[in-house]
């Protein structure tokens, strides 16, 4: 789909209006009502969007997020910044992160889990988009953020990978893709999930519960938070006793790409990037690539997650299977197999799809649900990562298609929605989702 110059300007204006409407001054609501606080990976994509409007504001977004970094290096998945007029559940009292010494002196309340580390990709993009005249002013701010990002990656490469497998262990479905069928079996093992009385706000806010996780899921999500709280969010204790430990190939792939992004920025960040940081980043990236290679199935052409507690492979066809692409694999055979899988009938080649975009779960999976959150819908940010990775891998024609189809999907649906029905192409989830508008701004400027 071609984007004419006129419609491009108009779309840019509409996307920018979403960011301005959700702007809280120094941070951005992930969406106006459903997600009124600062979310971690949302913030990184949002910074990319801001960079097209105001690079100073883009940096501020990341600085605010990293001001809530724990002493362990963890960057929390939500920073609770909205006031009482913006209700959200579960709020800070459910998490009670003050039980952890690593969070005790923070200026704000946060959750105690994290999300995929796309932040370094954002920092690199913000720098690329910084006009020459502003570089002397922006560079010291990049230098100040850099060691914080290294600490964040160090936390993931060590505390979240005590086995040094190159694969990050996640503790909770909210560490990325909430109700993905990837977690179904691990959640089903939890027999007694009695988190205590609670009232969900998300389903009443959205009006259509079929687009959100079920109450069965929520019982388990909240009960797992209780387990983490009991461990005082201490990684060693969590590793000893937590029932949900998954080697997540998507999360791990993002860390590989993010390590490469920090290496790209190392000269710029000098002297903030020490020689030993550079060595660590290179080692983590290498270990991550090797870890992912070990999870790759030549038969399916996909990478598979691994359940640490049961020792089982999680052999499902979801977007996460394309971890080698997201990590920028250097293996030509793997890349060819991934590209075949991507355009096969299981994914983008499925004839029922409205747009040739990567759905969160393959329509060929029994667990597929076209309207339900991470169980089928198309997520623009995932397709942004796909576009970005394909471009870096030299597959620019396929990358251009992802970009064109994504812009076509948003324009036709008439909404910067959280996610989209892969068959009808209609908007789902929250309207005016900040990270969707942000990636639209990046795509509109990139064609
Ligand atoms: C939600 O509120 O649904 C979020 O995904 C939790 O981070």
DSSP for 70-133, written as a single string: -TTS---SEEE---TTS--SS-HHHH-GGGSGGGTT-SSEE-S-----THHHHHHHHHHTS-GG
Q: How far is CA 199 from CA 83, 203, 229, in A?
A: 19, 10, 19
Q: Please report which confidence band the pLDDT of residue 447 belongs to, taking 50, 70 and 90 as the band edges.
A: confident
Q: Which two tokens stand for residue 259?
A: 């390590």
Q: pLDDT tens, 57-77?
A: 999 999 999 999 999 999 999
CB atoms within 10 A of CB 4: 8
Interatomic CA distance for residues 383 and 360, integer angstroms: 10
Ligand 1 pocket by C-beta < 6 Å: which residues?
77, 174, 178, 202
pLDDT at 203 over 70: yes
Q: Ligand 1 centroid to 89 CA: how many Å? A: 9
Atom of ligand 1 nearest to the CA of 39: 7
CB-based burial of residue 273 (10 Å sphere; 0-12 exposed, 13-18 middle, 19+ buried)?
buried
Pocket test for ligand 1, best of 87, 174, 203, 218 (most atoms within 8 A of CB): 174
Enter the pTM of the model: 0.97
Q: pLDDT tens, 265-315?
A: 999 999 999 999 999 999 999 999 999 999 999 999 999 999 999 999 999
Interatomic CA distance for residues 309 and 322, integer angstroms: 23
* Residues taking part in catalysis: 178, 418
CA angle 105, 77, 58 (to 5 degrees): 90
Q: Ligand 1 centroid to 173 CA: how many Å? A: 9
Backbone angles phi, psi at 93, to 5 degrees: -70, -30
């Amino acid at each position: 789909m071609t984007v004419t110059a006129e419609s491009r300007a108009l779309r840019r204006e509409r996307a920018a209006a979403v960011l301005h409407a959700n702007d809280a001054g120094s941070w951005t609501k992930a969406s106006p009502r459903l997600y009124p606080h600062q979310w971690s990976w949302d913030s990184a994509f949002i910074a990319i969007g801001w960079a097209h409007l105001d690079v100073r504001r883009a940096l501020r977004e990341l600085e605010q997020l990293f001001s809530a970094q724990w002493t362990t290096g963890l960057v929390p998945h939500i920073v609770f910044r909205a006031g009482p007029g913006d209700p959200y559940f579960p709020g800070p009292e459910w998490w009670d992160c003050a039980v952890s010494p690593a969070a005790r002196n923070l200026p704000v309340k946060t959750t105690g889990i994290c999300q995929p580390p796309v932040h370094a990709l954002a920092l690199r993009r913000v720098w690329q988009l910084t006009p020459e005249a502003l570089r002397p002013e922006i560079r010291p701010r990049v230098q100040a953020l850099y060691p914080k990002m290294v600490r964040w990656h160090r936390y993931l490469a060590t505390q979240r990978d005590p086995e040094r497998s190159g694969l990050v262990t996640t503790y909770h479905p909210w560490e990325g893709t909430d109700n993905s069928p990837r977690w179904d079996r691990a959640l089903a093992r939890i027999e007694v999930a009695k988190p205590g009385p609670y009232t969900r706000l998300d389903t009443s806010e959205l009006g259509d519960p079929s687009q959100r996780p079920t109450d069965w899921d929520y019982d388990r999500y909240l009960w797992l938070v209780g387990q983490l709280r009991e461990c005082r969010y201490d990684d060693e204790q969590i590793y000893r006793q937590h029932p949900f430990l998954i080697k997540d190939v998507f999360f791990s792939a993002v860390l590989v790409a993010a390590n490469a992004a920090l290496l790209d920025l190392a000269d710029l960040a000098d002297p903030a990037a020490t020689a030993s940081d550079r060595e660590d980043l290179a080692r983590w990236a290498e270990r991550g690539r090797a870890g992912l290679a070990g999870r790759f199935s030549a038969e399916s052409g996909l990478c598979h997650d691994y359940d640490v507690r049961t020792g089982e492979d999680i052999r499902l066809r979801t977007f996460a299977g394309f971890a080698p692409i997201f990590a920028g694999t250097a293996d030509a055979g793997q890349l060819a197999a991934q590209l075949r899988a991507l355009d096969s009938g299981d994914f983008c080649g499925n004839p029922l799809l409205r747009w040739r975009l990567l759905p969160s779960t393959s329509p060929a999976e029994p667990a597929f649900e076209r309207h339900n959150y991470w169980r089928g819908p198309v997520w623009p940010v995932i397709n942004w990562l796909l576009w970005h990775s394909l471009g870096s891998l030299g597959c620019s024609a396929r990358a251009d298609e992802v970009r064109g189809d994504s812009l076509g999907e948003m324009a036709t649906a008439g909404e910067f929605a959280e996610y989209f029905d892969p068959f009808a192409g209609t908007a789902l989830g929250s309207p005016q989702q900040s990270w969707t508008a942000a990636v639209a701004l990046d795509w509109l400027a990139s064609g």
